[in-house]
Chains A and B, each alone.
Chain A
Amino acid sequence: MEDAIVKLTSKEGETFDVPRKVAMMSKLVKDTFSDDDDEDDEEDETEVKEVPLPNVTAPVLKKVIEYCTHYQDEEMTPIQTPLKSGTLDELVQAWYANFVKVDRNMLFDLVAAANFMDIKPLLDLTCLAVSILIKGKSAQELRQMFNISAELSPEEQAEAQRENAVAE
């Protein structure tokens, strides 16, 4: 049981062999198993399972597995909410703080993957990273940073401007 392997397949079809214990951090994977267990009793226990993850690309999946593997050795300290501090290093261990120092594309992909695979600590960590990115930025900066354009119609732009004026 301990050495059981789960095969995780990325969008591109690349397969990663992951120890069952590591893969089980994803609630999605866990649910797939328990669903099957209900149907086939204990028969599948030894069989190598394959879980397709059509929403996750290979590089992202690799990162996710890296996270889950490390988590087995050093559990991430739960993030206290409401947030007490503004920097990652004060909230989580160094390894985790470094883990999310990636470009924004990767960060958002990780958020999406963590959300899809339902890995709570990873979701907490990546969202924390995003919220730190957002912290203290003006609307204009946010728009640039997240490449938000033409999201507002002219009327809405005007309205936003008005709200801006009121707020400042």
Chain B
Amino acid sequence: MKRSIEDLSPTTTRENASLLSLHDDALMTVLLRTRASDHANLRRSCKRIRDMIDSFQFRKERGVQGFAEVDVDLLSGFEQYQLSKKSLGEHPPSEEDDSFYAQYDTLGYIYEYGDYSFETDCFRVFVDGRPLHKLRRREEFNLHVRLLPLCAPFWELCDCYNQTLCDLGTLLFTNKGKPKVASIKNALTCDDFCASHNLLYIQDFVLPFEYRFIESTVGPLLIKGVLKLFLDFYSITMYVPYRETQFTVEEADAERNTRFRFDEEKTDEDIQAEEERQIRNDRCKHQDMRQFFRAGFQQVNDQLVVEKSDYSYVFAIPEVTGEPILSLEETLKIPIARKTPTRPEPRGLAREFWLLVGKQICEWNVMTEELKDLRIPPLEKPLFAQMIDDFNGNVQQLKDQEDGLSNSIQERAQMDKDVSTLEESREIVRTSRRDLEEKINTLCTTLQSGFAEALNRKEAEMKTWQDKARKDLKTVLEKAENTLQLFYESDAIHVAAAGKNLDLLLMLLEFVPDSDRPMAVNALDRLGLTPLMVLATIAPSAGLTKCRQTMEAVINMGADTSIVHSINGLSALGHFRDSHEQEERHRILFGLPEPSVELKEEVVRIEALLRPADGPTAADEAILETRKDADSNDDESDY
């Protein structure tokens, strides 16, 4: 098959023209522009052409240069039914099946709330006649699409598919699927949804490697194909690249080989590698989104949503199916909205300190729990109280028996009958009752003294532990050139607050020189929170009074209540309100009793304590408004 350059040269005079006289690159150029329907015969005509058509390069170039022909089809409801029966190992059903008529329509299986779920199997996807739906390995091709009604049970539906969509739904839509985000509202032009009030959710979208290039038109064409399939059934489409993305071959391999590590066993190199991987993943994710941009999707660009959520997502309305796909240059100009990045994990000494504090929180909290348990008088513990109750019951029984015998003795004595046998029996009962009473007494004393002893021991242990903890902290802190810097980098104070260990928090602050304290108590952690904000967040679940006292202590050290979180615009007060609201919602949901008057007063006190110098921020106030919203929504849904 090898030919010399002369043979290949077009100048060679020959009788008959041959396609094969062309150089490889020229032949490739010609073949790239042929129709997919001719590929089968071309492949059969000769080996050189077949090898070329079968090559990765050929498929890639067809996609990149826009020659690829993409066909997407949805299996009919009956075909889907057959498929599901087959996967259960049942016989292929007939069309007369009752369950088919009851559960399926032309689109497929109808779920409880009238939603649909389409897996890779439900589609027939051909790229240049190559059936992608027959590729079995998951990383090669994956397409999951949901059709969800945008009405009352929207959140329940989202939640059963995934948390991401549920969170997103909460951010984007309020009651009954009515959009609250301006860009989506505009997209739907407020016609109160001309289409069928459904959300088409593209959950997974992974292409074979040869089509993953950002230049490839296969992705956009396939997406358009999917949109066309459901044209009459949705009013908005959404895609969130979050689980699987269009990794390159190398990236997919690397991803497979990464091993999960606990925080404790991570080295600085691991963290660096993780960060680098994160950056690469982001790049893949963006490439993913560009494919959707090319297919005509837009991005939700409301700052409020973008800054609040980790996800980047895109949406489209039915009209985009008619538009041509955008060129690569055009899509590269579309900016991708991004959440402000957070600070990376601490490293080196700061990491050591961070881990130490984390460990101490756990140990300390466990001991505190144990102490709390020991402080409860043993007889008030349900287990022991039950036991003593049982014993006392037995005593009572014996007493009753004794009384019964005494009565009988009296009766018989009046009749002058012999009572000696009865008296003997009564004596036996009386003795055993006294024994039992004796035993109960001993048991109670033993329990009490035992617990008191255990408590003493535990308290001593706690004291030793605290001394050691203080020493451990000191050892690490002494290694640092700049104590304050170490606190900045390790977020130790925030970690202690988040771990609800307020004693440790105060202990940590003892290590900070007086002059540095205001700086330490106003430091921002990786997520941009001040210690006060963290305290405010945990307060409703960690004991309001104790938290209030700690907050007061921290504020006395110079904590500033006016600092506002850079992303969500909440002050510490806003964080408290947010957390308190959630707690309340949780309480109502589970039908728990109303908080006591003292606790309500405590809430008012904390609100006053945390009030920023210039009053609550707009975001702080907005939290209370959302409650009103939620209330009115609840009213509506009652109908």
B17 near A108 with CB under 8 A, answer yes
B22 CB contact (under 8 Å) in A103, A112, A124: A112
B29 near A127 with CB under 8 A, answer yes
Question: Measured between alpha carbons, how far is A83 from B35 in the docked complex, in Å?
Answer: 8
- Least CB distance from A108 to B in Å reads 5
Within 8 A of B (CB), among A125-139: 127-128, 130-131, 134-139
- Least CB distance from B631 to A in Å reads 55
A55 near B38 with CB under 8 A, answer no
- Least CB distance from A35 to B in Å reads 21
Most buried by A among B18, B29, B30, B69: B30
Scan A4-46; emit 1 where CB is below 8 A from any B CB, else 0: 0000000100000000000000000000000000000000000
* A105 adjacent to chain B (CB < 8 Å): yes
A135 near B29 with CB under 8 A, answer no
Scan B239-255; emit 1 where CB is below 8 A from any A CB, else 0: 00000000000000000
Within 8 A of A (CB), among B180-217: none
B67 near A139 with CB under 8 A, answer no
Scan A103-120; emit 1 where CB is below 8 A from any B CB, else 0: 111011101110110000
B22 near A134 with CB under 8 A, answer no
A137 near B38 with CB under 8 A, answer yes
A135 in contact with B35 given A82-B68, A111-B22, A115-B26 (CB within 8 Å): yes
A112 near B10 with CB under 8 A, answer yes
A134 near B44 with CB under 8 A, answer no
- Least CB distance from B14 to A in Å reads 8
* A158 adjacent to chain B (CB < 8 Å): no
Which stretch, B45-53, B149-157, B400-408, B502-510, touches the partner chain A? B45-53
Most buried by A among B9, B11, B38, B47: B11
A109 CB contact (under 8 Å) in B10, B19, B45: B10
A164 in contact with B44 given A115-B25, A115-B29, A135-B35 (CB within 8 Å): yes
A138 CB contact (under 8 Å) in B1, B32, B41: B41
Which residues of B lie under 8 Å from residue A146 when comparing CB positions?
17-20, 45
B17 near A11 with CB under 8 A, answer no
| Complex: chain A residue closest to B15, CB-CB | A147
Scan A64-85; emit 1 where CB is below 8 A from any B CB, else 0: 0000000000000000011100
B45 CB contact (under 8 Å) in A115, A127, A142: A142
Question: Measured between alpha carbons, how far is A137 from B33 in the docked complex, in Å?
Answer: 16
Which residues of B lie under 8 Å from residue A55 when comparing CB positions?
9-11
A57 near B46 with CB under 8 A, answer no
Which residues of A lie under 8 Å from residue B67 when comparing CB positions?
81-82
* B34 adjacent to chain A (CB < 8 Å): yes
Question: Measured between alpha carbons, how far is A46 from B552 in the docked complex, in Å?
Answer: 84
Most buried by B among A56, A57, A108: A108
- Report the contact-size class of chain B (Cβ under 8 Å from the partner): 35 or more
Question: Measured between alpha carbons, how far is A83 from B32 in the docked complex, in Å?
Answer: 12
Which residues of A lie under 8 Å from residue B34 when comparing CB positions?
130-131, 134
A124 near B33 with CB under 8 A, answer yes
* A94 adjacent to chain B (CB < 8 Å): no
* B443 adjacent to chain A (CB < 8 Å): no
Question: Measured between alpha carbons, how far is A93 from B35 in the docked complex, in Å?
Answer: 21
B69 CB contact (under 8 Å) in A82, A123, A152, A163: A82
Question: Measured between alpha carbons, how far is A138 from B45 in the docked complex, in Å?
Answer: 8
Which residues of B lie under 8 Å from residue A111 when comparing CB positions?
22, 26, 29-30
Question: Measured between alpha carbons, how far is A82 from B37 in the docked complex, in Å?
Answer: 12
- Least CB distance from B37 to A in Å reads 8
A156 near B45 with CB under 8 A, answer no
A123 near B29 with CB under 8 A, answer yes
A107 in contact with B10 given A123-B29, A142-B42, A164-B44 (CB within 8 Å): no
- Least CB distance from A66 to B in Å reads 17
Pull 26 A–B residue pairs with CB atoms less than 8 Å apart, ordered by A.
A55-B9, A55-B11, A60-B10, A81-B65, A81-B67, A82-B66, A82-B69, A104-B17, A108-B10, A108-B17, A108-B21, A111-B26, A111-B30, A112-B10, A127-B32, A131-B33, A131-B34, A131-B35, A139-B41, A139-B42, A139-B45, A143-B45, A143-B46, A147-B17, A151-B20, A160-B44
Q: Give 11 new A-B contacts, CB below 8 A, not counting A104-B17, A135-B38.
A: A81-B66, A105-B17, A108-B10, A111-B29, A115-B26, A127-B29, A128-B33, A139-B44, A146-B45, A148-B18, A151-B48
